[in-house]
Chain A
């Protein structure tokens, strides 16, 4: 009578090599996407947007009517959106990231609703002749968007958002004449300072 001795079974099933290869590629892509959160916000773009805002604050202070004042800030906002968009695309391109990566989607989903709310509140407040409250509303909602959109980014980004919100809250309850100063401090100063930090530490 022959005795069949069975081979010892491995404790864990072997990992198929192609599965391991797929896992590795997925891991590399996800790690790069998470690391990309550090780079998605463009530092130099922020500095340029800040410089535009400082110029706009000076220009807006020289206007004699509320309509002209509003035109200066809206034109600057449009210009800043273009600068920001170009800077984001350039930075993503240089980092080898796509604009549809997980960090970029997270930022957009957090950032855009608050900015959209600000865009809708602007004509509503203008129709009530409440121009004086616009700087507070813009700063507060832009800050809310940056804080939530940048929640997964480097700490400087959500901190900048909170500073915007603080300035917005102060502006809402300050004299109307201080509006340009708050706008210069927020959209100018904060963008330049935080943009320079991001540019220096997080790849441009």
Chain B
């Protein structure tokens, strides 16, 4: 089972994010719940920008895999993509946008709240 299908199937309950009741399902951000996209956003959170090749080697991804996931994050305006030329070599740089940073912070808060809720049970 891939992470994405796992994320889509699991009903998330018991996480109180923003004054949500203890058994209220929360709308977890499916976009960054997926491992590759979570990795992209996490890496960009500690860096003003990373090139396509740096992200690829950091997360051990293929070109196609990184492109597909980066495009989904771009479409959601979580990350920005800048294309330029370094001499005659094309260079693609990614950076985290405010929406993406907020989404990562919200996701971390949700995960911490979930762990806290389980510990209190």
Contact = CB atoms under 8 A, between A and B. Distances in A.
A39 to B, nearest CB: 6
Interface in B4-34: 6, 10, 12-14, 33
A35 B47 CA distance: 7
A203 B48 CA distance: 6
A27 B6 contact: no
A28 B35 CA distance: 9
Contacts of A95: 46-47
A18 B118 contact: yes
Contacts of B35: 27
Contacts of B1: 12
Interface in A9-58: 12, 14-15, 17-18, 20-22, 24-25, 27-28, 31-32, 34-36, 38-39
Interface in B90-121: 104, 107-108, 110-112, 114-115, 117-118
The secondary structure that dominates the B interface is: helix
A178 B59 CA distance: 45
A196 interface: no
A202 interface: yes
B114 A36 contact: no
Nearest to B104: A28
A36 B48 CA distance: 11
Contacts of B39: 27, 31
A106 to B, nearest CB: 15
Given A17-B10, A27-B35, A38-B50, A32 B114 contact: no
A97 interface: yes
The winner among A25, A36, A96, A204 for most chain B CB atoms within 10 A is: A25
B43 A25 contact: no
A24 B29 CA distance: 13
A96 B59 CA distance: 20
A141 B112 CA distance: 45
Nearest to A16: B118
Contact of B114 (A14, A17, A31): A17
Contacts of A27: 35, 38-39, 42
B68 interface: no
Given A35-B43, A35-B50, A25 B118 contact: no
Contacts of A39: 46-47
B61 interface: no
B43 A24 contact: no
Contacts of B108: 25, 28
6 contacts: A15-B10, A18-B118, A20-B10, A21-B111, A27-B38, A32-B46
Given A17-B12, A28-B108, 17 more contacts: A15-B6, A17-B13, A17-B118, A24-B33, A24-B38, A25-B111, A31-B39, A31-B43, A31-B58, A31-B59, A32-B45, A34-B43, A35-B43, A35-B47, A96-B45, A154-B54, A202-B47
